[in-house]
Amino acid sequence: MSTHAEVLEHVEGAGTLTFVRVWIALLGLTGCEIFLAYEQVGVMLMLSILVALSIIKAALIIAYFMHLKFERFSLFVTLFPMLVFCILLMTIFFLGDAVRLPFMRPGI
Amino acid sequence: MSTQVTAAAASVWDGGRSPYAVNSKKFGMWLFIISDSLTFSALLFAYTYGRVSNPNWPTPFHFSPSIIFSSVMTFALLSSSLTMVMAVHSMNHGNRKAAGGWILATMAGGTLFVVLHLTEWLNLINNEHVTPAHNPWGVPLFGATFFGITGLHMTHVIIGIIYLGIICQAIFRGKFKAEDVEVSGLYWHFVDLVWMFVFPLVYLMSAKI
């Protein structure tokens, strides 16, 4: 149960100015992504940069908008390592296969 | 400090206090968000698998209208996240009227997103002749994954608008507490967070250069 002191701690942890700054940063990163889409780069390089930018954006949203930065570390440790582990498993099993597949086609 | 640690450590084993210092509604929403993240992750991996492994993957998203529309949709959703966080902030300060107003602004952003998304879908169906099972480029997986991912996300947005509507009317009637607004905010930010991956992976990776 959250106490009044804890609620106040949340309020002081991130103010209106911080939220606006995060929003501007998110818009800026989105602008970078759109710019990148129209640059002639390889599929894997573009995918890597877009995913990296998206992870930064997700981290900003989770930390500031979803207040996780101001929660107890135990909550983060309980929730996120297994999510990251599952996503890494999917990356290892599926992405490597997807990259290899075009070179396995007949005539290539 | 040492007194607090001792008290917390003792109470955890006594079952008296939460080790996470969050209420059950908030913890439940976090668990839902983590499980839903895996659902979207699996769908996005399926899409990315098809995109990377298929050299003939279609790129139907022209700068106008598709990328412009999806960029405005991203702006609407990001801005609605800002208004949602302001609603939580106002509610934490006990300002119910302001919190209700910010939630209404959030719902407006979400509604704009859905309207633009449906317009984009209709453009794709009517002008590009893409359906979940067929498209002119002979890659049926494109339509299946595109409509699957964006459809599931749009469903989340629509549910979020309804959820916020329920919270908003209760706030104006003097019901619900700050923690209820915060829990609904968590859901709304998650919907925004998912779009931060859907937009680049689905739209930008298939943009017509």
What integer pLDDT is reported at residue A6 of this predicted model?
A: 42
Which residues of B are less than 8 Å from A64 in CB distance?
Answer: 85
Neighbours of B167 (CB within 10 A): 23
Which structural domain range is residue B85 located in? 22-206
**Which residue of B17, B22, B89 is in closest CB contact with A16?**
B89
What integer pLDDT is reported at residue A99 of this predicted model?
A: 83
The phi and psi torsions of A107 (rounded to 5 degrees) equal 90, 0
**How many beta-carbon pairs below 8 A join chains A and B?**
153
Instruction: Say yes or no: A74 contacts chain B, CB-CB below 8 A.
Output: yes
What integer pLDDT is reported at residue B3 of this predicted model?
A: 45
How far apart are alpha carbons B202 and B61 in whole angstroms?
Answer: 10
Please check whether residue B5 lies inside any domain of the structure: no
Instruction: Say yes or no: B32 contacts chain A, CB-CB below 8 A.
Output: no
Residue B207 pLDDT grade (very low, low, confident, very high; cuts 50, 70, 90): confident
**Count of domains in chain B?**
1
Q: Higher confidence at residue B90 or residue B13?
A: B90
Q: How far is CA A68 from CA A73, A76, B20, B124, in A?
A: 9, 7, 11, 38
What integer pLDDT is reported at residue B19 of this predicted model?
A: 79
Instruction: Tell whether the model's pLDDT for residue B10 goes beyond 90.
Output: no
Three-point CA angle B92, B97, B103, nearest 5°:
75
Q: Is there a contact between B164 and B110 (Cβ–Cβ < 8 Å)? A: yes
Highest mean pLDDT among A66-70, A73-77, B24-28, B188-192: B188-192
What integer pLDDT is reported at residue A107 of this predicted model?
A: 63
Q: What is the pLDDT of residues A80-106, one digit of tens each?
A: 999 999 999 999 988 888 888 888 877
Please check whether residue B4 lies inside any domain of the structure: no
CATH assignment of the domain containing B129: 1.20.120.80
Among B206, B159, B207, B168, CA closest to B187 = B159
Q: Higher confidence at residue B74 or residue A102?
A: B74
Residue B1 pLDDT grade (very low, low, confident, very high; cuts 50, 70, 90): very low
Q: Is there a contact between B13 and B7 (Cβ–Cβ < 8 Å)? A: no
> From the DSSP assignment, how many helices (H) and strands (E) are in chain A?
5, 0
Mutate to test the interface with B, among A34, A85, A88 (most CBs of B within 10 A): A34
Among B140, B192, B38, B153, CA closest to A65 = B192
Mutate to test the interface with A, among B196, B197, B203 (most CBs of A within 10 A): B196
What integer pLDDT is reported at residue A21 of this predicted model?
A: 96
Instruction: Tell whether the model's pLDDT for residue A63 goes beyond 90.
Output: yes
Mean pLDDT to the nearest integer, B108-137: 93
**Which residue of A1, A10, A34 is in closest CB contact with B23?**
A1
Residue B158 pLDDT grade (very low, low, confident, very high; cuts 50, 70, 90): very high
Q: Higher confidence at residue B126 or residue A13?
A: B126
> Kind and range of the H or E element at B174?
none
Provide ipTM, 2 decimals: 0.88
For all residues of chain A together, what is the average pLDDT? Answer: 86
Mutate to test the interface with B, among A57, A62, A65 (most CBs of B within 10 A): A65
- As to burial, measured by CB atoms within 10 angstroms (0-12 exposed, 13-18 middle, 19+ buried), residue B29 is buried
How far apart are alpha carbons B145 and B53 in whole angstroms?
Answer: 14
How far apart are alpha carbons B166 and B171 in whole angstroms?
Answer: 9
Q: Is there a contact between B19 and B12 (Cβ–Cβ < 8 Å)? A: yes
Instruction: Say yes or no: A25 contacts chain B, CB-CB below 8 A.
Output: no
What integer pLDDT is reported at residue A39 of this predicted model?
A: 84
Residue B12 pLDDT grade (very low, low, confident, very high; cuts 50, 70, 90): low
How far apart are alpha carbons B140 and B134 in whole angstroms?
Answer: 5
Instruction: Say yes or no: A63 contacts chain B, CB-CB below 8 A.
Output: no
pTM of the prediction? Answer: 0.89
Mean pLDDT to the nearest integer, B50-67: 87
Which residues of A are less than 8 Å from B78 in CB distance?
Answer: 23, 26-27, 30
